[in-house]
Each structure stands twice: as C-alpha cells, then as structure tokens.
Amino acid sequence: MKYITEESVELVKEAFLDKVRGGMKKRRAARKEKRSVKKQQTAMVNKSKADNKAGNADSVKGRQKRIKQETTLKNSKRMKAAQGARDKKQAGDNWSKAVKKNKSSGGSTLSDAVKRRNSNKKGTSEYASAQNQINKAYGSKVKHKATAKKATAKKNVASGPSKSGTSGAGAKA
C-alpha cells in the first residue's frame, strides 16, 4: 500500500502549475502577436493618411490602382454571374417561343418531340424527323436526314451434308 507523502504532493502541484503557466504563456504570446499586428495596421493607416494630406502622388496612385484592380475583379465576377442568369433566362425564353411556334403549327408537342428524339438512335429516320420538328420550332434551317445503313445480310449456303440425325455413308443425298 502506497502512502501519499509530502514529496509526491509537491510533485503533483508543480506539474499542475507548469501546465497552467504553459497555457498562460501561450495566451500571452497570442495577445502580444495580436497587438503587434494591430500596431502594423495602425501604422499603415496613419502613413496613408499622411500621404493623402501631403499629396504624395506615388503612394496615392498606387493605392488607387490597387483599389481599381480589386473593384474590377469584383465587378467581373458579378458580371459573369449576371451573364449566367441572363443566359438561363434567354434559354427559357427561347424554349417558350419554340413551344408557342410549334403549338401554332399543330402536331405533337415540343416535349414529345424531344422525348422521341432522345429515345431513338442518332441517324435513324425517327430521330431525324423529331430533330427536324425541334429545329423548325426554334426557327433553325438545318435539316437532318436518316443515314442509309448498308445491308449486311448473311448468305445461307449449304456447304455440306445436312445433319438429319443419321450418320454414315448412306446419309448423303
């Protein structure tokens, strides 16, 4: 059976205090780092304010150029997103116009034509007729034709005796 001695208690206290001090050191270091970063930022702001007051053209132009580049980048991203939205809207508008045009010409709906086209292989007459209907609705002048498939019929030629279940020399006719 072990007894707790004063020496073991002191060792545990020391280990605990080291752990606490270590955490405190890390927190102090983090605070110190934050303060130094804040000082640097403040110094930069003060310098730019002084440059503006003094009319230092080089630093002002550089800052203006940097701001313009950042703004241009932001605007280009915004414009791309807006263009994507416009493209989607235009595609929807084109579909609506094509559906109306197809409806006025009569026949099956444009959705049915798309389903027929997708269900057939490219090059078949069904595919071509469905695609032509879609193109007509969109106002395209492209006409699809069914590709002519080459006939690959196998010739059934009897090259030897028939196998009628009998064997031997008497089986030949």
Is 67 among the domain residues? yes
Same-domain check for residues 63 and 134: yes
CA dist., res. 124 & res. 132, Å (int): 12
Same-domain check for residues 103 and 138: yes
The tokens of 10 are what? 């002191």
What is the per-residue pLDDT for 119?
Answer: 93
What is the per-residue pLDDT for 109?
Answer: 84
Same-domain check for residues 38 and 72: no
What is the per-residue pLDDT for 86?
Answer: 74
Same-domain check for residues 104 and 126: yes
Indicate yes or no: pTM above 0.75.
no
Q: φ and ψ at 115, to 5 degrees?
A: -65, -45
Domain that holds residue 5: 1-54
Is 113 among the domain residues? yes
Same-domain check for residues 69 and 128: yes
Same-domain check for residues 80 and 132: yes
Q: CB–CB of 146/140 below 8 Å?
A: no
Amino acid at site 5: T
Same-domain check for residues 30 and 97: no
What is the per-residue pLDDT for 164?
Answer: 53
Same-domain check for residues 80 and 125: yes
Same-domain check for residues 64 and 93: yes
Domain count, the chain: 2
Residue 142: CB atoms within 10 Å? 9
CA 172 vs. chain centroid, Å, equals: 71
Is 149 among the domain residues? no
Is 39 among the domain residues? yes
User: Tens digit of pLDDT per residue, the chain (173 long)?
Assistant: 567 777 778 878 888 877 777 777 777 888 888 888 888 778 877 877 777 666 665 666 777 777 777 777 777 777 777 777 777 766 667 888 888 888 777 777 888 889 999 999 988 999 998 998 888 888 888 888 888 765 454 555 555 555 555 555 554 54
Secondary structure, 3-state, the chain: CCCCCHHHHHHHHHHHHHHHHHHHHHHHHHHHHHHHHHHHHHHHHHHHHHHHHHCCHHHHHHHHHHHHHHHHHHHHHHHHHHHHHHHHHHHHHHHHHHHHHHHHHCCCCHHHHHHHHHHCCCCCHHHHHHHHHHHHHHCCCCCCCCCCCCCCCCCCCCCCCCCCCCCCHHHCC
Domain stop point among 16, 38, 54: 54
Same-domain check for residues 43 and 77: no
What is the per-residue pLDDT for 120?
Answer: 92
Is 131 among the domain residues? yes
